[in-house]
Amino acid sequence: MKQGFEEGFLWGGAISCSQAEGGFRDGGKGVSTQDLRYLDPSWDREQVEAKHHGSPFSTQEFEQALQDMDTTYYPNRRGIDFYHHYKEDIALFAEMGMKIFRTSICWSRIFPNGDDAQPNAQGIAYYRSMFEECKKYGIKIFATMLHYDIPVQLVLKYGGWKSRKTIDFYLRYAKVLFEEYGDLVDFWLPFNEFNAGRFAPWDGVCLIPDQEENLNQAVFQCLHHQFLASARAVALCHQMLPGAKIGGMIARFTTYPATCKPQDALQALQDDQYANWFYTDIMARGRYPAYMDRYFDRFHICIEKEPGDDEILRNGTVDFLSFSYYFSQVSTSDQGWEKTAGNLIMANKNPYLETSEWGWQMDPIGLRVTLNQMYDRYGLPLFVAENGLGTTDILQQDGTVHDAYRIDYLRSHIEQMKQAVIDGVELIGYTMWGIIDVVSCGPLTMDKRYGVIYVDLDNGGKGSGKRYRKDSFYWYKKCIASNGEDL
């Protein structure tokens, strides 16, 4: 029986390019879909929340954002200016003893329009330099190839993931990444949170909801194209870089039956199938699961497939699975059940769990449950690609940030990961989300902070941009040094 984390367990941190880099006009970068997401800093928290969950992105806002290239109200254009600060930030990661850094590569830095014949040399040089900086300290790289931001020209010219052409452009991009960074990247991830396409259509599959007559149908067609793109990228990676590791990822919506009523148990099974297993089943098993036939039938969804698609899926199964884990929820047949916020979805409330400041239900044991469920089902190595606590933090006059709540959150989740390892789960790494404060993905604000490193910027992008070590920085350093024993 294992006693705890294996020697060489990959402790790390994660960010995404669009939430961190800024520099949206630098180095020949093209405009990405995330550069067009809009925030009015005067909105209060309720308005921000309603914006994310209600109407993520309308045609009117899209057109306005396309014309409006110079305002400061597009937080992802500014990020935390990681583009210019990466050396300083990576030095802090190294000081913490981080073993692995998960970040995404911005497609529109490599192919500014997505369909360009040649890649952008400056974009290629940027990631080489950033990855080499990590390697200087012995930090491994976990590279997400697409974290919600595709070149916006692909949306304007081809309809984004609605078109099969986007699969070919993605493969051209993937080939360049494997050629250019095959010697530097340790773990590849074709898509961040595959199931986001279903729950946050603009982020996941670049659909503007008010343009779709049948949004559900369009979402699943786009997802089919993404499954093909992912499977082809996996096969290409295996062919070009024998021995490389390439995986899949979902946002894990762990759910429990709200009661022991059989109806609730059935609901939990189906919620799990439709929100979670559908995605990992295809990536790990290489075929559409049988239970989706009934779902597609019920919602009149008809996915257009071409001859050869099934074979592509079969030949592109992943080497490992990863997931983000922030909360759990309950499944119920009761329509009037109380709701609370969650990552990408509104969740059903569990009376036994406390919620974070943003209403997400904190459930460390759910992480152990999830790890066991996923390992039992697939027997593949697992990676916790994201986990963390978004809160308001207070920077003190002396430059300290006392975030005991974050330490508690991380400790309780890491303890449960350790239990899962003792249960027999093959867990290879943990990249806590937002190792350094970045623009939050849903609300697009800076005040929802996840980092163990504080960045002095406010929701309007004002501030010195200086970095400060929070109390959790020292705590995580100690956790890493003791391989998860000293918590």
Residues of this chain that bind ligand BG6 (CB under 6 A): 16, 19, 192-193, 251, 324, 343-344, 386, 390, 433, 440-442, 448
Would residue 386 show up in a list of annotated catalytic residues for this protein? yes
Supply the minimum distance, in Å, between the C-beta of residue 415 and ligand BG6.
22
| Closer residue to ligand BG6 in complex, CB, 313/374 | 374
CB-based contact 182:239 (threshold 8 Å): no
Q: Which of 21, 61, 133, 386 is catalytic?
A: 386
**What are the tokens at 404?**
């005991």
Supply the minimum distance, in Å, between the C-beta of residue 483 and ligand BG6.
26
| Closer residue to ligand BG6 in complex, CB, 180/193 | 193
| Closer residue to ligand BG6 in complex, CB, 106/312 | 106
Q: Provide the angle, in degrees to the nearest 10, between the axes of the packed helices 215-240 and 278-285.
A: 30
DSSP letters for 343-400: SSSEEE--TT--B-TTSPBP-HHHHHHHHHHHHHHH---EEEEE----B-----TTS-
The CA distance from 469 to 119, in Å, is 37
Supply the minimum distance, in Å, between the C-beta of residue 276 and ligand BG6.
14
Q: Would you give the distance in Å from CA 470 to the centre of its chain?
A: 23
Supply the minimum distance, in Å, between the C-beta of residue 398 and ligand BG6.
28
Position closest to ligand BG6 via CB: 442
Helix (H) or strand (E) holding 417: helix 404-423
| Closer residue to ligand BG6 in complex, CB, 113/391 | 391
| Closer residue to ligand BG6 in complex, CB, 208/250 | 250
Q: Which of 7, 88, 193, 485 is catalytic?
A: 193
Strand ranges, E, within 73-178: 100-104, 140-144
The CA distance from 304 to 302, in Å, is 6
**What are the tokens at 203?**
């982020």
Would residue 304 show up in a list of annotated catalytic residues for this protein? no
The CA distance from 178 to 278, in Å, is 28
> Catalytic residue numbers?
193, 386
